[in-house]
Amino acid sequence: MNEIKLFFDFLSKLTLKDLDFHFTNVVNLYTKPISAWKKIILNNDNEKTYNLFLLVVIYYSVIIFFLIDNSKFVIPITILELFLTLIPFSFLFFPFIFFRNKWCKNLKSENLFKLIFVLKIQFNIPLIALVLLVNWTKMESIFILIDNYVILILGSIIIIPPIILKINIYKKIIWIITNYIFQMLFLYLLVLFASNVTDSDLLADKITLQTPTLEYDDFHLKYNYSDIIIDDKYFINIITVKNNQAYFRNSQFANNRLVLKLMKIDSADLKKFIKKLKNLEKQNITSIDSDHRKTIIKLTEMDTLRIRFDKLFYKDLKFTSTIKAKFKSNSEIFKLHNKLLRYYDSIYHSQQFINKIVTTKNEFSILSNDNNYIVIYKMNEPEATQLKNKILALRNKLITREKKARFLFNIYIKPVEYVTDILDL
């Protein structure tokens, strides 16, 4: 109740001279930030610290007023921002209480809350400016700054409170490290909680600032890359031989692993056959079976592999057909993936294409059961190769973008990775 009374007293006493004074204080948040932070956390005069805190609240509300279309949301957004300050306050509170009692007994807990709020607003304003700049220029590269800036905010919240206190450097370092540990524990618990709530992604979508890197990360997690897995140089058919006649049974996507497996089998059989020939040659035996194919891959195994891969393939096809990208760079690669998937789907189900393939000489074949053969043909489809090369080239650019966007994050998370590596977690 005292704080509400202070709020109305603050408003009732405002004069033009006061406004000029307060405007100077707002400017000092950026021109003399350390001095402003010390005023908030070190000053035990409730009225002075509260007035400066209220000034920042009003300053933030005015900015929100000019940014949003409906002014009735200004107060709710400001209150929400105050409420969200409880999140960093909650994990900084325990280290604050412990080290305050140990080294700085005159500090007040409420001043920590005020400082965190002021820090958030200070850093949020340039962040809002960057977002507005993106909306105006449509330059996606600015999001690299935004991704790094968000980590800068996280780091500043745990570093600044101890840094501005009048304690020696070693105590400051210990305090900062403790803040970092509590922040990481909080984030871990937050992720753990979210993973156990089925619709937590709905809330995450609302509170997370969407960037090109985050959008592509989401795609990467959901996409199976079945088009990239398919080998664009080979085509697989299952052929049934009866009464010296060959009959087409089915075709199968030639994914890289399957082609490599079949090649190894063919190579191993051929080596065994050559070894057998050499042994027979030593014995002067010339009448031998000329077919080196001995290893049998059952049709049931091939069918299982086909059904499993088809499921991934058509899941990817549906996904890329329905996904709506917010950012141009991501939209380009999503469309290329979809185009390549549709192309593969068209040729693997084209009887005309299959008829053309089976008339060519096969590369090698593997024996299957019941007079069936797994036949691998060389395929030359420039369109598929060109599409795949475009995707891979664009993918390399997006990986480079991700490295730049995650530059500060990778540094920030390094201590956690180091500890988990040592503990083998």
DSSP string, 332-359: HHHHHHHHHHHHHHHHHT-HHHHHHHHT
Say which residues have a Cβ less than 8 Å from residue 338's Cβ, sequence separation at least 6: 317, 320, 321
Q: Are residues 379 and 241 in the same domain?
A: yes
**By percentage, how much of the chain surpasses pLDDT 90?**
38
Note whether residue 407 is domain-resident.
yes
Q: Does pLDDT of 293 surpass 50?
A: yes
Q: Does pLDDT of 44 surpass 70?
A: no
**Cα–Cα distances in angstroms (integers) from residue 29 to residues 36, 47, 115, 165, 166, in the given order:** 6, 19, 11, 17, 20
Last residue of a domain, one of 204, 234, 268: 204
Q: Are residues 92 and 149 in the same domain?
A: yes
Q: Are residues 235 and 194 in the same domain?
A: no
Residue-wise pLDDT tens digits, 11-34: 555 555 555 565 676 677 778 888
Highest mean pLDDT among 98-102, 311-315, 352-356: 311-315
Q: Are residues 255 and 136 in the same domain?
A: no
DSSP string, 101-168: HHH-TT--HHHHHHHHHHHHHHHHHHHHHHHHHHHHH--TTHHHHHHHHHHHHHHHHHHHHHHTSSS-
Stated pTM of the model = 0.80
- Identify the H or E element spanning 275: helix 256-282
362-367 and 245-252 as β-strands: parallel, antiparallel, unpaired? unpaired
Q: Are residues 193 and 238 in the same domain?
A: no
Highest mean pLDDT among 49-53, 109-113, 201-205, 315-319: 315-319
pLDDT number for residue 205: 64
Q: Are residues 266 and 311 in the same domain?
A: yes
- Cβ–Cβ < 8 Å for 413, 154: no
- CA distance linking residue 313 with residue 48, whole number of Å: 65
Full residue range of the structural domain in which residue 119 is found: 2-204
Q: Are residues 200 and 232 in the same domain?
A: no
Compute the mean pLDDT over every residue in the chain, rounded to the nearest whole number. 84
DSSP-derived secondary structure letter, 296: B
Note whether residue 424 is domain-resident.
no
Note whether residue 425 is domain-resident.
no
- CA distance linking residue 138 with residue 400, whole number of Å: 20
pLDDT number for residue 318: 96
- CA distance linking residue 407 with residue 405, whole number of Å: 6
The position carrying tokens 């962040």 is 127
What's the token pair of residue 278? Answer: 């050499």
Q: Are residues 241 and 159 in the same domain?
A: no
Q: Does pLDDT of 67 surpass 90?
A: no
pLDDT number for residue 405: 93
pLDDT number for residue 3: 46
Q: Does pLDDT of 387 surpass 70?
A: yes
Q: Are residues 162 and 264 in the same domain?
A: no
Domains: count for the chain: 2
Q: Are residues 123 and 188 in the same domain?
A: yes
Q: Which residues, in sequence order, are bridge partners of residue 366?
A: 374
Note whether residue 212 is domain-resident.
no
Highest mean pLDDT among 206-220, 243-257, 382-396: 382-396
Which one has a higher pLDDT value, 237 or 104? Answer: 237
- CA distance linking residue 320 with residue 223, whole number of Å: 9
**Cα–Cα distances in angstroms (integers) from residue 60 to residues 64, 81, 120, 331, in the given order:** 6, 10, 10, 35
Determine which of 72-81, 154-163, 308-317, 383-392 has the lowest per-residue pLDDT on average. 72-81
What mean pLDDT comes out for the span 194-223? 78
